[in-house]
């Protein structure tokens, strides 16, 4: 069985792919961060250098500082990627710890909380 599957694009099957993944290597935009922390996935983030206001580097650094991900900031090389991913693949305890910390940052109920906040601001009961 292959240890990894490399693909250029994942479409509607993304939720299934993420559910099956032990470790995710990805950019660190807000949507990606929200999905991976809600799922509690160990991740290595490679921020997009040209992101507005450098928000991707900020996102990745924040999770790395909390032990909830690994961030590759600055120049990325094959060696630095291997050094970041290797311990997560070979050490199940470390992978589980990172995943648990990521899950602690996740807000799977974010949409419901946002609706409640909007309804509250509008003076309407949430009905939940």
pLDDT tens by residue, 18-30: 888 999 999 999 9
Strand ranges across the sheet with 42-45: 23-26, 42-45, 70-71
Q: What is the pLDDT of residues 22-60, one digit of tens each?
A: 999 999 999 999 999 999 999 999 999 887 788 999 999
pTM for this one? 0.82
For residue 37, give Cα distances in angstroms to 40, 41, 60, 82, 99: 5, 6, 12, 22, 8
């Amino acid at each position: 069985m292959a240890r990894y599957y490399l693909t250029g694009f994942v479409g509607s099957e993304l939720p299934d792919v993420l559910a099956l993944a032990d470790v995710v290597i990805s950019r660190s935009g807000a949507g990606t961060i929200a999905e991976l922390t809600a799922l509690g996935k160990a991740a290595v983030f490679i921020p997009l250098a040209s992101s507005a206001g450098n928000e991707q580097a900020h996102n990745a650094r924040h999770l790395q500082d909390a032990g909830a991900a690994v961030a590759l900031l600055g120049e990325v090389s094959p060696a630095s990627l291997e050094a970041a991913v290797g311990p997560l693949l070979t050490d199940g305890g470390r992978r589980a710890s990172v995943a648990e910390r990521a899950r602690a940052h996740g807000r799977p109920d974010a949409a419901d909380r946002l609706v409640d906040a909007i309804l509250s601001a509008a003076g309407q009961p949430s009905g939940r």
